[in-house]
Amino acid sequence: MIPEKLKIVIADDHPLLLEGIVSVIEKEVLGVEIFKANNGAEALQMVSEIKPTITILDIEMPFLNGIEVAKKILEAKIDTKIIFLTLHKERSLFNEINQMNIDGYILKEFSISEISQCIKSVLNGKKYFSKEIEQFIEEPLIDFSIFTKSEINVLKLIAQEKTSKEIAEMLFVSIKTIDSHRYNICKKLNLKPKKNSLLKWVFQNSPIL
């Protein structure tokens, strides 16, 4: 339900995109009062003073980025629904933000077409995520507790494109030990015994390593 006095703070350091989003909101969401900020510090001050119904934050902004602003809003316990705008599609970033229990996450390439729907969804108590990142919500997070500390170190070095010989030298162990770690990791991940299967898995999941 849209409140009688709907106030929105929107912060983005790209003037054209900011004005485009504001124009769409004013056209498609009735009874809205919009406050515009060009950087994170300005956005935080506005939110603190205005206490808007919704706060829309670009993730990358001068002075304070969107995540920093959101954390300060949550710490101050300001009652506002938080929506993020971003160019980034990385699962690691989404996981970090999703743990903050925010209300919306929109990719900038779809912001003009999705912003009104997103606002209406969060006002009705529903979270909204751009279609391209909805997959991350359903994908289970990898439980790293299944790996030993040594295996995690090996995974991180594989992600850095190190060979078994280089990893062995860096960890001061034998190549045979590294091969054993690789075997155990593959077994825990249920990877098929194919050439480079572990390497492919690491590259696909490197953002969260």
What value does the mean pLDDT take over residues 147-164?
90
Q: Domain boundary residue among 138, 164, 180?
A: 138
Q: pLDDT value at position 31? A: 84
- Per the structure, the complete domain to which residue 59 belongs is given by 6-138
pLDDT over 60 (residue 50): yes
Whether 170 and 78 map to the same domain: the answer is: no
What value does the mean pLDDT take over residues 62-80?
93
Whether 89 and 158 map to the same domain: the answer is: no
Q: pLDDT value at position 71? A: 93
- Distance between CA atoms of residues 183 and 175, nearest Å: 12
- Residue 94 included in any domain: yes
- Residue 90 included in any domain: yes
Whether 105 and 172 map to the same domain: the answer is: no
Output the domain CATH number for residue 182.
Answer: 1.10.10.10
Single pTM value for the model: 0.63
- Residue 25 included in any domain: yes
Nearest to 83 by CA among 127, 42, 49: 127
Output the domain CATH number for residue 130.
Answer: 3.40.50.2300
Comparing 41-50, 102-111, 148-157, 196-205, the range with the smallest average pLDDT is 196-205
Is the pLDDT higher at 1 or at 62? 62
- Distance between CA atoms of residues 158 and 150, nearest Å: 12
Amino acid identity, residue 141? L
pLDDT over 70 (residue 102): yes
Is the pLDDT higher at 123 or at 133? 123
148 CB-side CA count, 13 A: 10
Q: How many domains are contained in the chain?
A: 2
Comparing 75-79, 142-146, 152-156, 170-174, the range with the smallest average pLDDT is 142-146
Judge whether 54 and 34 are in contact, CB under 8 Å: no
Average pLDDT, the chain: 85
Whether 204 and 124 map to the same domain: the answer is: no
Percent with pLDDT over 70 in the chain: 87
Whether 30 and 49 map to the same domain: the answer is: yes
Q: pLDDT value at position 110? A: 81
- Residue 101 included in any domain: yes
- Residue 56 included in any domain: yes
- Residue 1 included in any domain: no
E strand segments, 2-152: 6-11, 32-37, 54-58, 81-86, 104-107, 128-129
Comparing 24-33, 93-102, 181-190, the range with the smallest average pLDDT is 93-102
- Residue 16 included in any domain: yes
Whether 117 and 165 map to the same domain: the answer is: no
